Amino acid sequence: MFKKFILMCWMVLLPGLPQLWAAGVECGKQPIHIAFFHYGFAYYEKEGRGVGLFPDIAEELAHRSGCAFSPSVVTIARMWEDLANGQLDMLIAGRQNPERDRIAWFIPYVVTKDYALLHAETARSVHNAREFLEQPSLQFGDLRQRSHNATLGRFVDRLRQTGRMEESVSAEILLEKLKQGRIDATFMMPIVYRKIFQDLQVTQEIVVQDWFPEDKGYPGHLIFNKDRFPAAEIAHWKRIVTEMRQDGTLQRIFARYVPLDEAIAMTDF
């Protein structure tokens, strides 16, 4: 499924091809092993190949850096382990925290916001986080190994401590459970749940609510393995990302998958 993408990445190395953006980037002798994961419109399969926001970003990085990328698909639960043990050089998206800072460099390239998704029956009596907490029979769902910002993290930790958390390995499984009423609510961003709603033919089974309207979102990052990328190299990659933002490339890529106003908000970092 990745043959076309890998070919395009290697093409930037062909002799004589102008590399206007790549000054200073040290690609190394081996392709950069980068990981995608199934995540709504961010990554999905269409006509036998991987498509979505993640491949689009990686393709642009390959073009501007002149580096070859070798992509693979992993689960969210596994990708950090693979990065830590050296099987991966780079992740296309993830949250930063002190533990992960020990093994990786982080460059923000997108701002995202999670919304509460509730089973329609639950939404009859729950309209905010407080009302969900006040009903101890309600069960929350989350992705295994997923981290949240401080606001959502405190809420999720409280549910986990009281045994009201059920984890899944993919967003697709999580929303299937929600549609069937096996869990009562979860957090997810629009670029993810819109695609899965389409695939699962969700109509009225799931209700979207903004439980934390004061929360304007949090950055998503490109993640670089410190064993592969020395500190001096990260400055060059930061420059590439900055140029992608300033010349409108990031916004144009985001707008392929979300309305323009959301694409603009996603570049406000």
Pairing mode, if any, of strands 115-119 and 206-209?
Answer: antiparallel
Whole-number Å distance between alpha carbons of 154 and 117: 18
In the structure, what pLDDT confidence band is assigned to residue 216 with cuts at 50, 70 and 90? confident
Residue 213: Cβ-neighbour burial (10 angstroms; 0-12, 13-18, 19+): exposed
CATH class of 3-112+219-266: alpha beta
The β-bridge partners of 33 are 70
> How many CA within 13 A on the CB side of residue 70?
10
Q: What is the mean pLDDT of residues 99-127?
A: 96
Name the residue among 209, 147, 197, 137 with its Cα closest to residue 172.
197
Note whether 3-112+219-266 and 115-209 share their fold. yes
Spell out the domain ranges in the chain: 3-112+219-266, 115-209
Write the pLDDT tens digit of every residue in 131-164.
Answer: 999 999 999 999 987 888 888 999 999 999 999 9
> Phi-psi region for residue 247, left (φ > 0), alpha (ψ -120 to 50) or beta?
alpha
115-209 homologous superfamily: Periplasmic binding protein-like II (3.40.190.10)
